[in-house]
Amino acid sequence: MNQITTGKSEFNNFKVRFMGALKTNGGVILAFIIVFVIASIVSSKFLTFNNQMIILRTISTTALCAFAMTFVVLTSGIDLSVGSFMSLAGCLTTILISWYAVPSFLAILVSIGVGLAFGAANGLIITKMNMPPFIATLATMNIMRGISYTITGGKPVSVTADSLFENIGAGFLGQVPIAVIYVVIAFVFLWMLLNRTRFGRHIYAVGGNLTAAKYSGINTDKTIFLAYVLTGVFSAFGGIILVSRLNSGQPTIGEGAELDAIAACIVGGTSLSGGSGTLTGTLIGAVLMGVISNILNLVGVNAFVQLIVKGLIIIFSVYINTIRKPVKRAKSAES
């Protein structure tokens, strides 16, 4: 409640912002550091450059979906169909390349275009038909999966003709896997979009208080619509990368991807009720999940026990996130 005058506020404001950012992401950063340190101690292989790259490459699809999902979740929506986007776009790309001899680049563009179109369909169903995002995207999840199975006949589509395609997802730039580069570019782009454009502000506004956003003249429908287009495009791209890494169009990919993406968002501190969360948090959340999975596999923990450990670590890291926030759920409901 201290008074801040404009003159002396520069430093103060920076402090306010920095503390704010730390408060928002502090929990997940702390959880990340703890898990990371434990992992380094437990396995000598963990800290190697190669292994770190493997972690990042492994999470690349999840991260791409989770970044875009952050936008949707910030609008207090949810997109269950990301996995189906992955499957549809991935398979379509390989079909175009292998069966119709379309050049890789064009095939990818077309597939991303299809992702965009279905993302737009999600957006329209949600904004124009007033359907709850959960059920709308549950429906399109089934529809797109069905289409993906139908066009492939349920079988993997091999890509043999085009080694360029394989490099698109599986290649390296120097020592760094190309998929990691995509994640970095996508992160920077989406971070700018969220924090440095009007659209980004509108995303926060819509999720924070839909009425306020409407009363301020924001085209809320358009904002929500665009968020679903984003998930469509980015998860389609994620699917294409994955398919390229597998070097075959597997229609089964992406099952359960929505849960991974949403988990990354929430572990990263984004609230499912919308309006609060950061992209940085999501990135750390995604990497954290990747590190957990990696170290468990490195140590050779039984796959069944892995599930248990993973569950416990999720609870632990989100709990750290929760207790670091001074205002508890009960309180926040009041305000």
What is the footprint of ligand ATP within residues 272-331 (CB under 6 A)?
331
214 touches other proteins by CB under 8 A:
yes
Do residues 114 and 88 touch, judged by C-beta distance below 8 A? Answer: yes
134 binds, among ligand ATP, other proteins, a copy of itself, none (CB under 5 to 8 A by kind): a copy of itself
Q: Give the Cβ contact number of residue 332 at 10 Å.
A: 12
DSSP secondary structure code for residue 156 in this structure: P
> What three-state secondary structure class fits 81?
coil
Which member of 15, 48, 154, 164 binds a copy of itself (CB under 8 A)? 154
141 binds, among a copy of itself, ligand ATP, other proteins, none (CB under 5 to 8 A by kind): a copy of itself
Kindly calculate the radius of gyration of the chain based on its CA atoms and give it in whole angstroms.
21
276 touches other proteins by CB under 8 A:
yes
- Cα dihedral 251, 252, 257, 259 in deg (nearest 10): 140
**Cα gap 69→146, rounded to integer Å:** 22
Which member of 103, 160, 312, 319 binds other proteins (CB under 8 A)? 160
Closest to other proteins by CB, 148 vs 317, is 148
28 touches a copy of itself by CB under 8 A:
no
Closest to other proteins by CB, 103 vs 158, is 158
**Cα gap 211→199, rounded to integer Å:** 17
Q: Give the per-residue contact string, 300-319, with a copy of itself (x = CB under 8 A; - = no).
A: --xxxxxxxxxxx-xx--xx
303 touches other proteins by CB under 8 A:
yes
Closest to a copy of itself by CB, 62 vs 247, is 62
Do residues 225 and 124 touch, judged by C-beta distance below 8 A? Answer: yes
**Cα gap 152→171, rounded to integer Å:** 25
Q: Residues in the site for ligand ATP, rule: CB under 6 A? A: 1, 331, 334-335
